[in-house]
Structure 1
């Protein structure tokens, strides 16, 4: 099967050459790389146009939508498999595409996502978060796993994901006009269509963020908005327990590694996440101006 890679970009100059070089030197070759770019003002386009395999699709400011933009690029793709990435992640090795896609089509597996490993400059809590969310072993998730895994059943990431094209469109692709988590929503749609999703532990990319407290607040505010506006996809499953589990595990990790001084930072960081999430769940009760200030993706509320 042929593979199309889709990458939304905006001012990706510092990342894109490294990413394209690694994607064009994979053990399993890709047919095309579609860059859908939102009005970059740097050298993103000129770098991309040096690669014959790249199709560059410019869009205007104000047109970007997490799900809609990816769907727009997917409609131009000709591969039997769609691989989605983000501009700030890059394959750890030349086997990334092979490991991400090799099980698609087997045993009702129609989508997969890979492992994220932290950058060298990642802080200790970010490093632990990557280990907490991305383990060493493959996981196949289906509707039968909901009672056991809860919201983790739908955990999925477009930082590095792959879909069988036919099954992607059978559920109408990504949801459009959603503030974020379009990846978890499509995973939910596939799972409730009696399909399976794979976590491919050996398909690794390097990707992490050292978010400030306020950035954590804003990101989790938007997650709260998702669980309010798209609650039908998650069938009443709560995510708070997963957050509590993370904090407890992180404290044990810090203590085991004699990093006690980081525990107050963890508590404050987790507090910003929790408060942001809870406020996001009731955003509709607040003035729209305040809501936009609390959101990482304020454009979502322009037409609310």
Structure 2
């Protein structure tokens, strides 16, 4: 079995001091290490080539969350594809080994995604987001779980994931052109085709964000655009249901444990901003292009 590690990068220098040693310490070393770099202006390309990676450089305007990952999958010769983002730092030496083990633990699994722990310097709310979405218990999800989990059934994350290449091909590969959430797209296709999605809690990376309120708005605008355009996913799996309310309750509980209930108005306002962004994204076809470029986190998508 051949394993390829694929990382999209852009100006990743700030992360490489942690990322490169974490990759070098892995007990499972990839047979191929491919980086697709969007014309970084720092030393990203030089350092990654020195670390043994094959680096393909593209223009930033060529990058697409789905299309670039699709192209990268065609550049390697491997049975298993590990995708990692530049700011997802393997937390243990067995991170790669564990996700590959989980991916192949059952015949029907098509994709596995790992557990994301907050970065050591993560803020309270950024850390809580990781704890809520990435619990300590592994789980295999299939279509039978949709009545319970709704749209969370196809939740996956290419910040750290591993795919069986044959399963990826069987469902048509990554979409050529999406604003984001290509991981949910492929997971949904796999589930509808009879594959399972594996959450591998023992495969850990450090990955978190401390978004501002406006960044939350922009992020959820993009998510709304995705699900508005890919309405088949909601039709197949249902809506998020009470997930948003459960998330807010978990945030409030985290504030209480930290003695920070004074931040409750912030949590309420952030939740409102997320909802507003998501709803606006779902009606993006009614917005002028200039507005979409301004409010989207992936402004380059609206070229």
TM-score (normalised: structure 1): 0.95
Show CA shifts across 1:52-78 (max 9, x none).
3x1111112310010111111111111
Show CA shifts across 1:129-168 (max 9, x none).
1111000110100000000101110110000000011111
SS of 2:75's partner is: coil
Match of 1:67 in 2: 66
SS of 1:234's partner is: helix
Match of 1:208 in 2: 208
Shift of 1:230: 1.0
Match of 2:82 in 1: 83
Match of 2:110 in 1: 110
Q: Does 1:298 align with 2:299?
A: yes
- For 2:213 and 2:68, how far apart are their aligned partners in 1? 29
Matches within 5 A, 1:1-304: 1-52=1-52, 54-105=53-104, 106-235=106-235, 237-239=238-240, 241-302=242-303
Deviating more after overlay: 204-213 vs 18-27 = 18-27
SS of 2:114's partner is: strand
Shift of 1:257: 3.7
Matched-pair contact (CA < 8 Å) for 2:150–2:241: no
Deviating more after overlay: 232-241 vs 107-116 = 232-241
- For 1:230 and 1:299, how far apart are their aligned partners in 2? 20
- For 1:57 and 1:280, how far apart are their aligned partners in 2? 32
Show CA shifts across 1:13-49 (max 9, x none).
1113432322232112211110000111110111011
Structure 1 moving runs of 4+ over 3 Å: none
SS of 1:112's partner is: strand
Shift of 1:51: 2.2
Shift of 1:186: 0.3
- For 2:75 and 2:114, how far apart are their aligned partners in 1? 24
SS of 1:151's partner is: helix
- For 1:103 and 1:180, how far apart are their aligned partners in 2? 25
TM-score (normalised: structure 2): 0.96
SS of 1:173's partner is: coil
Shift of 1:301: 2.4
- For 1:277 and 1:91, how far apart are their aligned partners in 2? 31
Show CA shifts across 1:229-281 (max 9, x none).
11113326212521121002221332244321121111111111111111111
Matched-pair contact (CA < 8 Å) for 2:37–2:57: yes
Gaps of 5+ in 1: none
- For 1:68 and 1:240, how far apart are their aligned partners in 2? 30
